[in-house]
Structure 1
Amino acid sequence: MNNWLRKNPQVRTIRVAASDLNGQARGKRIPSRYADKAVEGGTRFPMSVLNLDIWGEDIDDSPLVYETGDRDGVLKPTERGFMPMPWLDAPSALLPIWMFHEDGRPYAGDPRHALNAVVERYRARGLTPVCAVELEFFLIDDSGRTLQVPPSPRSGKRRVAGEILSLRALDQFDAFFTDLYDACEEMDIPADTAISEAGLGQFEINLMHCDDALRAADDAWLFKMLVKGMARRHGFAASFMAKPYEDYAGSGLHIHFSVLDGAGNNVFDDGGEAGTDVLRHAVAGCLKAMPGSALVFAPHANSFDRMVPGSHAPTGISWAYENRTSAIRIPSGSPAARRIEHRVAGGDVNPYLMLAAVLGAALNGIEDAQAPPAPITGNAYAADLPQIPGDWQSAIDLFETDEQVARIFAPDLIRNFVLTKRQELKYMAELSPQEQVTIYLDTV
């Protein structure tokens, strides 16, 4: 890892950072000449830091704080190593880290370890999930009291309309997207296609599929950080919050995944359009875990504003072939690429928890070998379907008690996530909608 710093002598400072349960980067700024210590000996900070609320404050009555003396965890570099931080003015490097106990055991409250535990379950069965993530976000002028689309750097005009798949909308912000893609190259984030979406100033960028779920989650986490930083360099904000505009669709974070066996074969591929029994078992697992894991897919007060009928976000628990109104979609195309698209999560999620919830639920289904209900046809919003929890309180309560969730996440993580969400629910209720948007705009 230190070879990277030697090859980049212009870097004078590094950031060591881990993801907390809200997906926020928590860490330290270190002069680069002391990087050896962070790499070889690890970094220390309290375990409670990965369980802060959305404001970055301790959780009231958390057992991680006073009850245990607010003890330290040891944070070690992930496999990713150093990478540049192109959104900063001074040459700087980021070192992603994750938390362990003093004796070397993974800390179960770390969201990256939660995903790794799911990946290990796949590995024990000789299976490898292959993931691709689609991220939607808004470019926003937040300089005034009212959020609005930034003026085009090319024309100076604001396009107050959703422009689905508009090249003009992309070209209006060509300098930003060019710099963003260059920065993705520098950070080795596999950014693929960009499109304009249905919301005001809304865009989507797909990340290429990856047979390493941890790396796919890393890419999504780093990409969110990069997009927000690069937007500020261009004089506006970028936000992954679920629904900044009441009258327009919100932002999702969809995952496409397939599963390979030990020989590299896609276990969802039956040579035709239907897919295998294993695919249907995975679908059944995703549907069964959907109510309990709704808190992962919709973790904030603003999240549930997105999940209303007719808003391009699923509300019913269903699956279908080539149908974007369903929660689970089986895309058409080559049988060799047969896969599942999970469409529930908003853009404001923690990517590590989201991938753990989806892949863990699919594996629950594969292990149980149960068939799902029949796939739907037509408009899912008009169908009589069991519903995804539609309010935050219900989602918190279900996450705490659901049997499927307990098969995916460690008890400590379930407890910690519930504590931070209940605190956020309590204090968000004291704020106006405008104050809530101010909090979520830059954080999620």
Structure 2
Amino acid sequence: MDLTHERPGLPGLRFPYGHGLIRRMTMNMKNWLRKHPEVRTIRVAAADLNGQPRGKRIPTRFADKVVEDGTRFPMSVLNLDIWGEDIEDSPLVFESGDRDGVLKPTERGFTPMPWLSSATALLPIWMFREDGRPYEADPRQALRAVLDRYKARGLTPVVAVELEFFLIDDSGRNLQIPISPRSGKRRKAAETLSIRALDSFDSFFTDLYDACEEMDIPADTAISEAGLGQFEINLMHCDDALRAADDAWLFKMLVKGLARSHGFAASFMAKPYEDYAGSGLHTHFSVLDQDGNNIFDDGGPKGTDTLRHAVAGCLNAMADSTLVFAPHWNSYDRMVPGAHAPTGISWAYENRTAAIRIPSGNHKARRIEHRLAGGDVNPYLMLAAILGAALTGIEDGIEPPDPITGNAYALDLPQVPNTWGAAIDAFEQSEIIKRIYSEELIRNFILTKRQELHYMAELTPTERVEIYLDTV
């Protein structure tokens, strides 16, 4: 099914939108700028393989050109390591002449950047090849390709994510929880579901929710978590998985930027403190058919055969896709038994020690919760891995093992890779991964992670934390 269209006036340049939608998107973006004359500069940015925003700053008076024609930068920019360095043996650099890709605005359009002191707008973009084909090694395009497979079957995933993060005072030698602007005190304790902990940083959370409203990010419940200065905010479910990934990507940028304007840091790194639990990024998803029916709902607590097939697909791909869910050196500090991060490959009903949980509640909302990912993931690659794995299970009609009961950490279960190197090897050798991602993305991701592994091994633990604190 060809979901792309040539754009009028640019023969051969194709995009995954119809002509009418392209015109409406262009007009809406121009109108947005005209309604916000206070915006003097814009940023255009795409997510690289590590989820880092890469792009340009442009004066607003030149924004119409970007809206209409897009922009260009080297394809290798979406394949930089965590330091922002070229991948040394990448064919995207010298071997190919470091050729350009074409970056076009996504359907998101302009969004404010409330964490900056001057009025600025961000225009999310994604990459295409010179001939107009999507660049499948762009993480957002990788998720789009998975969603195209769902669409071809008349199916639509509905996705919600829960993002955990730490507020951190990184001004001294050791990381610690910031002093509360409200009390003037520094409380060095985990405060699970503590209203006092939320109130201690009420001004930050008030600004955060206001900013989410400005950016149209559907932030819902906030809670304090088990880590030191750790919090979680849920984003509401969405029947557009690309938008759900956009929301998560933008939310991470917002939280980190806004925290700095409040005088402290925020980080989604997996494990900043050795003695406290790390941060996860849990994903809930169901799937609708063409009539809007939840294909996981059987009217009762167990769910349909299709739900079990999707669970089986997720379990089968879990070891091979661990590199996506735990993409950094620090990620594996989180993934230890008994630390609120799954290590065994299992599923269960209403059991948070399992890697895959089927929540209880109204049968109409029957869904799967995937609990392996850390807060340090690229949301686009993560959702592509989860939804792609679930679809392989549905397509193949495979059955999962029996659901577990009790403490998963105490059971003899197959384990996910427990080192970064083992996860890279599993990803590289996997046949399942080849059904989810393009050959080029797989190659680029492996090259990136092997380079990072090599250079991270030369650093001290403190130096690694400094790298990850502000990047992931």
**What does residue 187 of structure 2 align with?**
159
Following superposition, the deviation at residue 114 of structure 1 comes to 0.3
Name the counterpart of 1:318.
346
- Is 1:46 the counterpart of 2:74 in the alignment? yes
Residue 428 (structure 1) aligned to one of 435, 438, 456: 456
The AA in structure 2 aligned to 1:405 is I
Counterpart in the other structure of 1:381 = 409
Q: Could you tell me how far apart the structure 1 residues matched to 2:173 and 2:443 are?
A: 37
SS in 2 for 1:408: coil
Give the aligned partner of residue 440 of structure 1: 468
Q: Which residue matches 1:109?
A: 137
CA deviation string 1:246-266 (max 9, x = no partner):
000000000000000000000
Q: CA-to-partner distance for each residue in 1:125-160, whole Å, 9 max, x for gaps?
A: 000000000000000000001000001001111111
Task: Using the aligned pairs only, state the percent identity.
Answer: 81
Where 1:345 maps in the other structure, the secondary structure is coil
Superposed, 1:68-147 pairs within 5 Å as: 68-147=96-175
Counterpart CA distance in 2 for 1:108 and 1:191 is 30
Unaligned runs of at least 5 residues, structure 1: none
d(CA) in 1 for partners of 2:87 and 2:119? 35
- Corresponding residue to 2:324 among 273, 296, 302: 296
With structure 2 as the length reference, what TM-score do the two structures score?
0.94
1:401 CA drift (Å): 1.4
How far apart, CA to CA, are the structure 2 residues paired with 1:156 and 1:315? 39
| TM alignment of 1:161-180, pairs within 5 A | 161-180=189-208
- Distance in 2, matches of 1:361 and 1:227, equals 29
- Amino acid of the structure 1 residue aligned with 2:243: R
- After superposing on structure 2, the runs of 4+ consecutive aligned residues of structure 1 that deviate more than 4 Å are none
For residues 2-81 of structure 1, the aligned pairs below 5 Å read: 2-81=30-109
Partner of 1:268: 296
Q: Per-residue CA shift, 1:270-323, capped at 9, x if unaligned?
A: 000000000000000000000110000000000000000000000000000000
Q: Secondary structure at the match of 1:414?
A: helix
Q: Which amino acid aligns with 2:57?
A: R
1:353 aligns with 381
The answer on 1:393 being equivalent to 2:393 is: no
Superimposed CA distance per residue, residues 211-265 of structure 1 (whole angstroms, 9 cap, x where no aligned partner): 0000000000000000000000000000000000000000000000000000000
Question: Which amino acid counterpart does residue 354 of structure 1 have in structure 2?
Answer: M
Which range is displaced more, 153-162 or 281-290? 153-162
CA offset digits 1:381-412 (Å, max 9, x no partner): 00000001100001001111101111000000
Match of 1:403 among 401, 414, 431: 431
Deviations 1:38-80 (A, max 9, x none): 1111110000000000000000110000000000000000000
Match of 2:260 among 215, 232, 235: 232
SS state at 1:208 partner? strand
Residue matched to 1:214:
242
Q: What is the number of equivalent residue pairs in this alignment?
A: 444
CA distance in 1, matches of 2:298, 2:47: 38
* Counterpart Cα distance in 2 of 1:347 and 1:370: 30
Q: Aligned with 2:468: secondary structure?
A: helix
Q: Secondary structure at the match of 2:275?
A: coil
State the AA in 1 paired with 2:334. R
Partner Cα separation in structure 2 for residue 93 and residue 195 of structure 1:
29
Match of 2:445 among 417, 424, 436: 417
RMSD, aligned α-carbons: 0.3
Q: Take 1:84 and 1:52, find their aligned partners in 2: how far apart are those partners? A: 26
1:258 alignment partner, one of 276, 283, 286: 286
Distance in 1 (alpha carbons) for counterparts of 2:129 and 2:65: 18
Q: Distance in 1 between matches of 2:111 and 2:292?
A: 30
Please give the secondary structure, in 1, of the residue aligned with 2:137: coil
Provide the secondary structure at the position in 2 that maps to 1:169.
helix
| Letter of the structure 1 residue corresponding to residue 337 of structure 2 | P
Q: Secondary structure at the match of 2:166?
A: strand
> What residue number does 1:201 align with?
229
Give 5+ residue unaligned stretches, structure 2: 1-28
- The AA in structure 1 aligned to 2:58 is I
The separation in 2 between residues aligned to 1:199 and 1:126, in whole angstroms, is 42
Rounded to whole Å, the distance in 1 between the matches of 2:189 and 2:305 is 43
Per-residue deviation at 1:267? 0.2
| 2:237 match: secondary structure | coil
Q: CA deviation at 1:108?
A: 1.1
Q: Which amino acid aligns with 1:387?
A: Q
Query: TM-score normalized by structure 1?
Result: 1.00
Taking the aligned partners of 2:64 and 2:448, their CA distance within structure 1 comes to 34
